[in-house]
Amino acid sequence: MKNWLNEQNLSFLLNRTLWIDTAIVIGGTLIIYWLLRSLIRFISNRSIKSGHHRSQLFYNNAIEILRSTSQLLLLVFSFLIAIKFITLPRDWSTAASHGWFITLLLQIALWVDCSIRLWLSNMRRDPTHLRNPVTTVILGIMVRVVVWAMLLLAILSNMGINITALVASLGVGGIAIALAIQTVLSDVFASLAIGFDKPFEHGDFIVFGDIAGSIEHIGLKTTRLRSLSGEQIVCSNTILLQQTIHNYKRMQERRIVFKFGISYETPAKKVRQVSQSLREIIEGIEKTRFDRGHFFAFEQNQLTFEVVYYVTVADYNQYMDVQQEINLQLMERLSALGVRYAFPTRRVEFTGGTLPQVNVAGLASNEVEDEEDEEESSSPSRGAF
């Protein structure tokens, strides 16, 4: 038996066809690998001079994807091409066919993965469309997971494995996991909604409910704001999107409405002059646009004016400077016209019967009036010296 095994090994080693086929495969693999690497290097080192930004970007991305070609898969690919030059047994040919499919699919998946990373990187660097980095990261992870999951299922299917039960198991498991972490997932999808819809971005000043602050960070689960009083406010993304949000960073101009009142003793002629003065004051101040200023209503203690104007900048401090200047000039104009501001007053009329006697400092009201009359008669006149 031992002698027979030795004879078989010797005949195998002395098989001339085997050594020739081995040399053809090794030599062919090395040559093809060198040719493919040289071709990739030649294409990658070429430069394109194009004045169009999009074509330049597309070419650069294509070159970067080509450079991401796996050297190991390239070597395997060269080997699979080289074995085509020799005659293989049927089982080996079947295995080589599976190898072709798996190698090509893996390389395509690597190219797709690289293109996804480049796409997301270009989105983050685009100065014209600022995007939430958290959203791009989540999107990249989700797309890449889908690509590699499809790759795995395709490889298993090619190898003859029934993936129907596997897909069903993954579906049931995914539903169970989603139910377990539905709160977290709702916040994650809310973060994606914020990234795509962009109701606010980093640095925006927003107000919702009784909360006001500037956006500091938009995360997977929460959004953080810096309030006007200095503390940090952390809010769930889902809850935040359920609110009515006022984004003051995107305000182009402010519409201002304010009211003031003057005394009922003001004659109609001067009331008209007040309306004209309002227009002159607001039109004379920079960064404002006058809309209207009217004698609005007869109210309990005053003649009420309503004024509407626009501040053509969104900055709150500049708006306050404008409003202060309007108030100061309005005070000066009313003083020059001899018009008084209205103050809260109350007038009580007593009808029917007689007023009750009121004691003041121990004296009856009629005695107080007599003393006042005596003081007025005994005092010298204003013109005397």
Mean pLDDT by 10 residues, the chain (385 residues): 50 62 80 84 65 60 78 82 75 73 81 80 64 66 78 73 66 61 72 81 87 87 88 90 87 91 91 92 92 90 93 89 94 92 76 66 54 51 38
Cα 380 from Cα 94, distance rounded (Å): 134
Same fold, 184-250 and 254-337: no
pTM of the model as a whole: 0.50
CA angle 14–19–24, rounded 5-degree value? 170
Which residue, among 222, 203, 236, 199, has the nearest Cα to 213 in the 3D structure? 203
237 in helix, strand or coil?
helix
Provide the pLDDT for residue 353: 65
Question: What per-residue confidence (pLDDT) applies to 117?
Answer: 81
Of 306, 309, 321, 322, nearest to 274 by C-alpha is 306
CATH of 184-250, one of 3.50.50.60, 3.20.20.140, 2.40.40.20, 2.30.30.60: 2.30.30.60
Tell me which amino acid residue 171 is.
Answer: G
**CATH number of the structural domain 254-337:** 3.30.70.100
Distance between CA atoms of residues 259 and 48, nearest Å: 66
| Domain range summary for the chain, segments of one domain joined by + | 20-157, 184-250, 254-337
Close Cβ partners of 147 (under 8 Å, ≥ 6 residues apart): 109, 112, 113, 116
Q: What is the pLDDT at residue 56?
A: 65
Instruction: Report pLDDT for 124.
Output: 66
